[in-house]
Each structure stands twice: as C-alpha cells, then as structure tokens.
Amino acid sequence: MNQLWMALLTIALGIAGAVVYFWGANAILDRIFPSRAPDMQTASRNIRRAALVRPWLFLAPALFALCLYLVYPVIASTWLAFHDRSGDRFVGLDNFRWLLGDAGFRESMFNNFLWLLVVPAASTFLGLLAAALTDRIAWGNLAKSLIFMPMAISFVGAAVIWKFVYDYRAAGSDQIGILNAIVVAFGGEPQAWIAIPFWNNFLLMAILVWIQTGFAMVILSAALRGIPEETIEAAVLDGASGVQIFFRIMVPQIWGTIAVVWTTITITVLKVFDIVLAMTNGQWNSNVLANLMFDWMFRGGGDFGRGATIALVIMVLVVPIMIWNIRNARREMEGK
C-alpha cells in the first residue's frame, strides 16, 4: 500500500515538476524579453529573441533524457567494447577476437540469422494473408481483433502459453500438450519439442510470429484499403482473376508498407530476449545474441567488455535499417 502511495505521489510530483518547469521557464523568458515594449522596434526584437530561445526550453528535458539514456550509452558501449571486463584497461580488438572464436557466439549468431530470415518473412506473409482474407467477410473485424490480440500479451506470457502447447509427457501417458496430443493421435511418438537442437529454434520463432502477425495484419490491411479502386476495377475489366489482382495489382502498390512492416519486425527480432530466456534460457543450442549479452552482463559479476561487444554487434545489424528510416523520414519532411 505504501508503495502505491509512493507511486501516486511521484506521478503528482512529476506532473507538478513538469508544469513548474515549462510554465516557469516560459514566464521567465517573457520577463526577460517583454513583448509589450514601449516602442515597436524593441517589441519586435524581443519577440524574435524569445522565439529563438523558446524551442530549446520546450526541448530541453526531452533532449537531456535522450542524450542520457540513448546517445551517451551508445558511445559508452562502443568504448567499453574495446576495454576489459571492468572497463578500466584498453584491450584493443581482444573482445572481438574472443567473440569470433567463441562457440556460444557463433551459435547465437547463426540462430539470430535464422530468426531474421524466418520471423519477418513469416509474420509479414501471414499478416498480408490475414488482412486480405478478413477484409472480405462480414465478421472480419472480429477475426482481426482476435488475431491481433497476442500483441497485448508479454513475451513471457506468450512463452508460458506456448510452453504448454509444447508440453511433453513420456510415451504411454496422456499428453497434456496439444502438439504432442495431435502427434500421438496420428500415431506418432511424443517428442520433447523444445529440447531438439536446431528445430527448437523454429518452435521459439513460432511464438514471435504468433505475436507479430497481428501487427503486420493491421498495418497491411489499412494499406490494402488505401489502394485506389480504379486500378482494381481496370484489372477486373481486363479479366484478371482474384489471385492475379491480389499479387499483380494490389501487392505491388503496397511494397512501401510491406517494407516498413518487414523492417519493424526485423528490429523486434534482433532484440528478442524474453522468449528465449523463458523457454530454454539458451539451452539445446537455441541461444540468441540478446540473451547471450544479458548472460555476459551478469555472469560471474559481469563482464562489461564482452557484454558491450555483443550489444555492439546487435547495434551494427540495426544501423542499415536506421539509415533507411532516417532517409525516408527526411524525404517525407521535405515533401511537406
């Protein structure tokens, strides 16, 4: 209860602090550069000067937080990657050399590439399929809502849900995991699914695909609806079939959106950590970079050099998407 009051108090203090800061800073600015000066010239000069300062007053808290929590850490992590476990001694490329020789890293890298190949492709494809199908039926919105629902579930919650699906009981006893129950019903042998190296990766990926498909569906569905009717009508008049219209007329018009969905899911995949931690904690050859990084960050009191090096690898993989995003955003701003 105490804790609850503290949280409420902090919210109140935070809001009050923000109001005091923004309102107070603004008032002080108006005091220094009063817009109601006796002569026109001073007044307009004051307004101009205040207009130069005011944006920075509005931006200051955000810029400070962005710098402290994102910009500085990127620089510091890069610096740490060239230092030893406590960050005191410069070790050059030692961490990278260790990385290349480390079996755990190679395994994680390999798995991460599998994830990158499968999850964005599968989620985008299934999302597109779901969007195209649900747009055609009366109960489409209900279906959409249900397919979208896993978006709200945490990765850990999803891991519990799917661990139950993959649950394994020895052959002969009743299976309580639905996957094994189906396998047994068709006369197969029950398997301890998540302990099968290599293939278990795909079972973990299924969880993320299950979560991300709804996201892809919602966005692609909006894009499909934005396609001009005339292009489709023209195709119908030319005698194109439904499938032809979909793949030749509609999909090419939403390539831009598909790319955005694909890259957004790619970023999520690179950071995936909770699912692997909760399902296998990297056992049975299922480790990924983010989990490996977490491991090194705390293992034996923490090896910050190696942890930062792995984080840097993830960062480098993200950079192309980052540049692409920035270029798109700039083009869009200039267009306005």
Partner 1 sequence: MMIAGAKSPLGWAVHLSVLAFVLLWTLPTAGLLVSSLRDKDQIAVSGWWTALSSSSQNLLFRAPAGDGERLEDGRYVLDGNVLEQGGGTISAFGFSSREPAAFAAGEVAELPGDVRLSVASDGSFTLSGPESFAGGRGQRIFYTAETPPRFTTENYWNVLTAAGLGRSFLNSMTVAVPSTVIPILIAAFAAYALAWMPFPGRSLIVAAVVGLLVVPLQMSLIPLLTIYNSVGQALGFDPKSYIGIWLAHTGFGLPLAIYLLRNYMAGLPREIMESARVDGATDFQIFTRIILPLSFPALASFAIFQFLWTWNDLLVALVFLGPQDDKLVLTGRLVNLLGSRGGDWEILAASAFVSIAVPLAVFFLLQRFLVRGLLAGSVKGG
- Span 274-333, contacts to partner 1 by CB under 8 A: 274, 277-278, 290, 293-294, 297, 304, 307-308, 310-312, 314-315, 318, 321-322, 325-326, 328-330, 332-333
Name 139's Cβ contacts closer than 8 Å, sequence gap at least 6. none
Cβ-in-10-Å burial (0-12, 13-18, 19+) of 301 comes to: exposed
Which residues within the stretch 197-256 sit at the binding site for partner 1 (CB under 8 A)? 210, 213-215, 218-219, 222-223, 226, 232-233, 236, 242, 245, 254, 256
133 belongs to the binding site for partner 1 (CB under 8 A)? yes
Q: Is 3 in the site for partner 1 (CB under 8 A)?
A: yes
How many C-alpha atoms does 109 have within 13 Å on its Cβ side?
14
Residues between 4 and 33 with contacts to partner 1, criterion CB under 8 A: 4, 6-7, 10-11, 14-15, 18, 22-23, 26, 30
Specify the residue, 44 or 145, whose C-beta has the smaller distance to partner 1.
145
- The least CB distance from residue 90 to partner 1, in Å, is 17
Q: Which of 45, 113, 145, 248 binds partner 1 (CB under 8 A)?
A: 145
Angle separating helix axes 199-225 and 103-134, nearest 10 degrees? 40
The runs of H, that is alpha helices, within the chain are 2-32, 40-66, 72-80, 94-101, 103-134, 140-148, 155-165, 178-185, 199-225, 229-237, 242-244, 251-253, 255-270, 274-279, 289-298, 304-335
Binding partner 1 (rule: CB under 8 A), the pick from 123, 155, 269, 276 is 155
- Asked if 77 touches partner 1 (CB under 8 A), the answer is yes
Q: Is 152 in the site for partner 1 (CB under 8 A)?
A: yes
Q: Does 119 bind partner 1 (CB under 8 A)?
A: no
Among 93, 176, 199, 234, binds partner 1 (CB under 8 A): 176
Stretch that binds partner 1, among 94-102, 103-111, 139-147, 188-196 (CB under 8 A): 139-147
Among 37, 42, 96, 163, binds partner 1 (CB under 8 A): 163
Structure tokens at 186: 């068709």
* Distance linking the first and last C-alpha atoms of the chain: 51
Q: Exactly one of 32, 71, 171, 234 binds partner 1 (CB under 8 A); which one?
A: 71
Taking the C-alpha atoms of residue 301 and residue 10, their distance in angstroms, rounded to an integer, is 32
Task: Say if residues 290 and 277 touch (Cβ distance below 8 Å).
Answer: no
User: What minimum distance in Å lies between the beta carbon of 114 and partner 1?
Assistant: 19
Query: What is the DSSP secondary-structure string of 224-236?
Result: HHTS-HHHHHHHH
Q: Provide, rounded to whole angstroms, the least separation between the CB of residue 39 and partner 1.
A: 18
57-62 contacts, C-beta under 8 A, 24 or more apart: 57/22, 57/25, 57/26, 57/29, 58/22, 61/18, 61/21
Rounded least distance, CB 86 to partner 1, Å: 10
CB-based burial label for 105 (10 Å; 0-12, 13-18, 19+): buried
Contact between 128 and partner 1 per CB under 8 A: no
Shortest approach of partner 1 to residue 105 CB, angstroms?
14
The CB-of-250 to partner 1 minimum distance in angstroms stands at 10
Among 31, 40, 41, 55, binds partner 1 (CB under 8 A): 55
Token pair belonging to 245: 């219209």
Give the binding range for partner 1 (CB under 8 A) out of 99-107, 110-118, 189-197, 259-267: 259-267
Phi-psi region of 36 (alpha: psi -120 to 50; beta: other; left: phi over 0): beta
Joined together, the tokens standing for residue 203 give 């079972």
34 binds partner 1 (CB under 8 A): no
Number of residues engaging partner 1 in binding (CB under 8 A)? 126
